[in-house]
Structure 1
Amino acid sequence: MSTSKPAWSERELPAFFKRWRTEWKDEELSPSNYLDYEGGLRFVLAAAWLFCPETVEYRGCVFLKENFSQDVVDNWFTTLGHDRERIEAVVNQVRLWDVFLNASRTDDEQLGEELPQLALALGECWQGVLSARYPDREITVEVGDEEDGSYGPAVTFRTSPAVSDFD
């Protein structure tokens, strides 16, 4: 798996959006306009949980609440020898195809090709949210993809105590 820190610096508009804008014959329309025209408020409200996830602290670690199970985490502590950063990275991993199980991978829209951009956006959001939420920790967010692209991108994070310039 290849990984990188999230950096979504060169945004490309999704193909479905470009087609929609062309159909409306208005190249000035923005993604915000799309959300308004297509009644996207429900989807954006639900997506808030993805982009600004709830977290829990347990055994000196930070976990996504949605992924957290005390028994599973305790098993990882045994398996990984109390390596907190590795345990967090494993438990906090979100594979985007697991989030979008009902989305077609073969449709004409080719939305699967847009997932790497979504993963980068998600990673940047997590970096900011978690850094603000846990200022006493160094947050490392990683965005990765299978080498062969077979299962799409994943996003995860791990924490460690913040390093002070005065130590």
Structure 2
Amino acid sequence: MSSSRPSWSDRKLPAFFTQWRAEWKDEELTPANYLDFEGGLRFVLAAAWLFCPETVEYRDCVFLKDRFGQDTIDNWFTTLDGDRERIEAVANHVELWALFGNTPLTADDHLGEELPQLALALGESWQGVLSTRYPDREITVGVSDEEDGSYGPTVTFWTSPATSVFG
């Protein structure tokens, strides 16, 4: 899976949800029902920061606020010869395996198998949020799942000045 314009079009319900729905013997239950029954409001409120992240602008770049460190970014400017797009892509790179490092991803619950879908949903959300927040910039969101499995599903973004059809 790799995309610069993420699109979560092949939506499959997560295995844990379909199992939960089967236990309730009610195929009409939706993911929203699950959130209500299982006390998901706390998790959804926290997830808002993931799907609608806070950002900061620094040196004509946009960075995820919770991953931003001025010294680190200044070092990337030196290491990457001031290539703003590469600097943003590296600094804003989020590995979902690392993000959920305290969650066991066992074969029993299939959560590890659900992470690529989450990456696409996150990427699509970032595309919309960041494009709205920064209308004067072209936002590129990259979603990938490393072939060798070293990083697992990842999401990142970078910006460039918006180009006008009028020159």
- TM (normalized to structure 1)? 0.97
Cross-structure match for 1:8: 8
Percent identical residues: 75
- Measure the CA separation in 2 of the matches of 1:3 and 1:83: 22
| Aligned pairs for 1:18-97 within 5 A | 18-97=18-97
- Measure the CA separation in 2 of the matches of 1:156 and 1:52: 13
Give yes or no for the alignment of 1:148 onto 2:143. Answer: no
- Measure the CA separation in 1 of the matches of 2:71 and 2:150: 30
Cross-structure match for 2:115: 115
- Measure the CA separation in 2 of the matches of 1:108 and 1:142: 29
The C-alpha deviation readout for 1:125-167, integer Å capped at 9, x for no partner, is: 0000000000000000000111122431000000000000100
Give yes or no for the alignment of 1:137 onto 2:128. Answer: no
Give unmatched runs, 5+ long, in structure 2: none
Aligned amino acid, residue 58 of structure 1: Y
SS at 2:164 equivalent: coil
- CA drift at 1:64: 0.2
- CA drift at 1:62: 0.2
SS at 2:77 equivalent: helix
- CA drift at 1:107: 4.9
The C-alpha deviation readout for 1:49-106, integer Å capped at 9, x for no partner, is: 0000000000000000011000000000000000000000000000001111111022
- Measure the CA separation in 1 of the matches of 2:10 and 2:30: 16
Superposition misfits of 4+ residues, deviation over 6 angstroms: none
- TM (normalized to structure 2)? 0.97
Give unmatched runs, 5+ long, in structure 1: none
Q: CA RMSD in A?
A: 0.9
- Measure the CA separation in 2 of the matches of 1:151 and 1:91: 15
